[in-house]
Amino acid sequence: MAAAGMLAAPMAAVAGPLDLYIERTAMAAADRRCGFFDAGLRAALEAGRVQTRNAAMRGGATSAELSKADAHARASAATVICDSEAVTEAAAHVRSAFQGFAKLRQITYPGETADWRADRTSSAQVHRWRLAQQSDFAGGEMVFGLAGRDGQPVLLALASFADGRIPYAARLVLRDDSRATRPYLDLRGDQDLARRLPPVGARRTYSAEARSKAGLDLRPEDMGAGWAFRFPAEAAVRLAALDPREAVAVEFLFSQGPAVRRAYVEVGDFAAGRAFLQVAAR
C-alpha cells in the first residue's frame, strides 16, 4: 500500500515541490504501466511534473536529491496494482486536476527576471511564437524561444539592433553538463544574468544553422527591422535540461564595430513550457 499511498494525494495542498515532483513522477510511471490517461492528459501531467521539478530546484533541491526521488517514485510505481481501489481513485483525482490544464491554449511561466510565454494555438498558415522570452540588451532587443507553424517548432533568436548593423552569425552559449554537472550560480540579488553563466571552460556553444530577415509574423509590433537565427534542435534539448536558475547567452557576431553583442536568457521554466506545447502535438 506504500506505493498506492504515494499516488493517493498528488495535489495535496501541504505538499512541497519535491513531494509533488515525486507524486507526479510516480503517477506518470504508473500510467505507463496501467494506461490511465489519454495522450492529452498524459502530456499535461508531464508539463506539470517538469514544473514541479523546477520549483524543487529553485527551492534548493540538488540534482542528486532529484535523481534519488525520481528512482524512488518509479520503483514505487512498478509495484502498484492497476485495478486496485486506491490507485484508480488516485488516477481519477489526477484526471480531474489536469483536465482543465490540458485545455489551456496559453500560459505564462513567471521567472525571476523574465517570463516565458507559451502558446499552443495551432496555425497552418503563419509562423508564430510557441514559447518565447523577450529581453533588451545594450544596443538592441531580442525575442528568443520556439517558433513555427503546426508541427515541431524550431529554436530561434530574433533580434533588432538600434544602429542598424547586420550580424553575419550568431551562437548560443550554455553550460556543458558533461564538463560541469552543477550550475554556476551567483544569486546575490542583483539579477545579473551574466553571473549565472559558467566559466569559459565549462561552456558548450551552438552556432546558428541559418539566418534570415525577421518576418512580420514573428517580429513584435514595436520592434524595428531585425534578423532571425535558427539553432540546432539539440540546443533546445540541452536548454531544457538546465537548472531553471541558470542563464544562457546569445552572441551576435559582426564584421564591423563591436565584434560581439550579447543578450541573456533566463532558463526559467523553458522545460515546462516545452512540455506544455506537447499537449497540442498529441
Closest CA to 156 of 167, 169, 146, 166: 146
Tell me: the pLDDT tens digits for 219-229? 887 888 889 99
Angle between helices 39-58 and 85-103 (to 10 degrees): 90
Residue 10 confidence (pLDDT) above 60: no
Tell me: the pLDDT tens digits for 50-96? 999 999 999 888 888 999 999 989 998 888 899 999 899 999 999 99
Tell me: the pLDDT tens digits for 225-262? 889 999 999 999 999 999 999 999 999 999 988 899 99
Q: Would you put residue 232 in left (φ > 0), alpha (ψ -120 to 50) or beta?
A: beta
Tell me the sheet residues that pair with 116.
109
Structure-model confidence comparison of residues 100 and 141, the more confident one = 141
Closest CA to 26 of 3, 44, 57, 51: 3
Phi/psi at 244 (5° precision): -60, -20
Residue type at 31? Answer: D
Tell me the sheet residues that pair with 159.
142, 227
Residue 217 confidence (pLDDT) above 90: no
Residue 281 confidence (pLDDT) above 70: no
Residue 7 confidence (pLDDT) above 70: no
Count of C-beta atoms within a 10 Å radius of residue 146: 22
Residue 127 confidence (pLDDT) above 50: yes
Structure-model confidence comparison of residues 190 and 216, the more confident one = 216
pLDDT at 225: 84
Count of C-beta atoms within a 10 Å radius of residue 7: 27
